[in-house]
Structure 1
């Protein structure tokens, strides 16, 4: 697997970027890995990097974007925070990754059995975690279908909240970053949300979050 160059990155369209991630996830699920020399990639990216994707995921130890999408050094910008939420710093990082460094797609990646989502479902308050979980709370309130046992003990409720949280984050990125919104609308980059199943390894992307405008 070749190290990404600026020319290779420029040739990747947002739809191609999504396909690369889907193919990588299939390899991960089948316990296969693309043949790559990581030490060589470290050397070849020492003077510059040209990742094709920005992936916002949770800090959960089981959800490393590089592993579940089978990517190497220099391939993706990995932004990780509990509950895959956004703030100004994360938005700024995404703007750098896309506007400055040339990435072609933003992925908001939640996962099953998320501890941060469970904490939000239980309305946990603890130190600085309180403010972080408050950013997930709107997803808890938006989930209307579960009427009883609206807490972390209800797996169905937790997973529904997690999906809503991903979709809200995709919307919030568009809403809070004029730079990224303009790039998405122009077809320069794409955006999509998805969930990583920590049991099977599969990433499910949500069509109702996918925005890829083809450049003619």
Structure 2
């Protein structure tokens, strides 16, 4: 598998970038990982990197974006934080990845059985985690279809909140970053949410966000 060059990155459209991720996830699910020389890729990217995607995912140890999308060194910018929430530091990182470094797609990736989502559902308060979970709480409040057992003991409630949290994060990125919003409007990049099933490995993408 060739290491991405600036020319190769430039030739990738936002739609192609999404397709590359879908193909990679299909390989992961079917245990057909591409054979890569990672040391060679490390050497070839030592003077510069040209990732085609920025992926915001959870810190969960089972959701490594490089693995579940079968990507190598230099292919993606991986941003990880519990609950795949957004803040200005992450927004700045995304703006760098797309506007400066040339990535073509932003993916907000939630996952099933998420501990951060469960914590928000249970109103957990613990040190600095309290402030992080506060950013997820609006997704808990927005889920109105389930009226009983609105806590982590209800798997259906947890997964519904996870879906809402991903969609809220996507909207927040578009609303809070004029740079990324303008790039989306111009068709230079696209943004999409998705959920990774940690049992099957399958990523279900949402509809691409359009402005």
Question: Normalised by the size of structure 2, how large is the TM-score?
Answer: 0.99
- In structure 1, C-alpha distance between the alignment counterparts of 2:137 and 2:48, rounded to whole Å: 39
Alignment match, 1:78: 78
Structure 1 residue ranges (4+ consecutive) displaced by more than 2 angstroms after TM superposition: none
Summarize the alignment of residues 57-136 of structure 1 with structure 2, pairs less than 5 Å apart.
57-136=57-136
Alignment match, 2:13: 13
Alignment match, 1:211: 209
Deviation string 1:62-81 (CA, Å, 9 cap, x unpaired) is 00000000000000000000
- In structure 2, C-alpha distance between the alignment counterparts of 1:50 and 1:83, rounded to whole Å: 27
Deviation string 1:54-104 (CA, Å, 9 cap, x unpaired) is 000000000000000000000000000000000000000000000000000
Aligned residues between the structures: 211
Query: Which runs of no fewer than 5 residues in structure 2 stay unpaired?
Result: none
Alignment match, 1:180: 180
Summarize the alignment of residues 162-173 of structure 1 with structure 2, pairs less than 5 Å apart.
162-173=162-173
Q: Aligned in 2, Cα 1:212/1:25: closer, same or farther, shift over 3 Å?
A: farther
- Contact 1:112–1:159 at 8 Å: present in 2 too? yes
SS where residue 124 of structure 2 aligns? coil
Query: Which runs of no fewer than 5 residues in structure 1 stay unpaired?
Result: none
- In structure 2, C-alpha distance between the alignment counterparts of 1:83 and 1:212, rounded to whole Å: 24
- In structure 2, C-alpha distance between the alignment counterparts of 1:68 and 1:53, rounded to whole Å: 14
Deviation string 1:86-140 (CA, Å, 9 cap, x unpaired) is 0000000000000000000000000000000000000100000000000000000
| Structure 1 position 35, deviation (Å) | 1.9
- In structure 2, C-alpha distance between the alignment counterparts of 1:36 and 1:130, rounded to whole Å: 41
| Structure 1 position 211, deviation (Å) | 3.0
- Contact 1:51–1:101 at 8 Å: present in 2 too? yes
- Contact 1:14–1:212 at 8 Å: present in 2 too? no
- In structure 1, C-alpha distance between the alignment counterparts of 2:210 and 2:170, rounded to whole Å: 13
Superposition RMSD in Å: 0.8
| Structure 1 position 212, deviation (Å) | 6.2
